[in-house]
């Protein structure tokens, strides 16, 4: 378990348009509290209406995939609807405090599945912690919480 003196709060920053990511973020936060005694604060950037503010504590980002045009491989793609999360991460040096990103999507879109999260990981230089489909399952919540806690411990030891 993580030493509470080193880390007592984790922000969970996400954008939810259809409700799937919001549902996952809620269950993810509840699991972190019940299983790891880690307090979290959720921020749905959709509710911020393009406002940004600095986050100086560690956070994990959760990003659904909404793309148009191209196939995501050789004909490109255009991120739509989720850009405010990228703007939030880029603002105020927030990217320096992001410990990683979790992607969500629909496997029916093949190569475009979670592509935006992979692009954010590359763009900002933080790891992609994992992915889930649609609303995610209980097993997804458990798996990604475990990965997040491991990453949080690594980041805490580095500081």
Structural domain includes residue 3: no
- Quote the domain boundaries for residue 87: 9-158
pLDDT at 82 over 90: no
Structural domain includes residue 28: yes
Per the structure, the count of domains in the chain is: 1
CA distance 113 to 116: 8
Structural domain includes residue 75: yes
Q: Please, where are the H alpha helices in the chain?
A: 20-36, 83-90, 115-124, 138-158
Encode pLDDT of 21-58 as tens digits.
Answer: 999 999 999 999 999 999 999 999 999 998 999 999 99
Q: What is the pLDDT of residue 105?
A: 83
Q: What is the pLDDT of residue 148?
A: 98
The vertex-88 CA angle with 144 and 63, nearest 5°, equals: 30
Location of structure tokens 């989720």: 82
Structural domain includes residue 4: no
Encode pLDDT of 64-77 as tens digits.
Answer: 886 555 555 555 55
**How does the average pLDDT of the chain come out, rounded?**
86
Structural domain includes residue 153: yes
Structural domain includes residue 32: yes
Structural domain includes residue 2: no
Structural domain includes residue 83: yes
The helix/strand/coil state of 11 is strand
Q: The CATH number of the domain where 147 resides is what? A: 3.40.50.360
67 or 152: whose pLDDT is higher?
A: 152
């Amino acid at each position: 378990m993580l030493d509470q003196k080193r880390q007592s709060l984790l922000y969970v920053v996400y954008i939810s348009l259809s409700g799937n990511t919001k549902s996952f973020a809620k269950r993810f936060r509840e699991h972190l509290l019940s299983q790891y005694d880690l307090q979290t604060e959720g921020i749905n950037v959709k509710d911020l209406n393009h406002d940004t503010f600095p986050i100086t504590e560690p956070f994990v980002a959760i990003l659904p995939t909404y793309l148009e045009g191209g196939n995501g491989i050789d004909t490109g793609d255009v991120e739509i609807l989720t850009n405010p999360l990228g703007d939030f991460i880029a603002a105020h040096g927030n990217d320096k405090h992001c410990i990683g990103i979790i992607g969500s999507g629909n496997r029916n879109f093949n190569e475009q599945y979670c592509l935006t999260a992979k692009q954010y990981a590359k763009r900002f230089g933080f790891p992609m912690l994992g992915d889930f489909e649609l609303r995610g399952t209980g097993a997804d919540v458990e798996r990604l919480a475990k990965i997040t806690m491991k990453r949080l411990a690594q980041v805490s030891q580095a500081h």
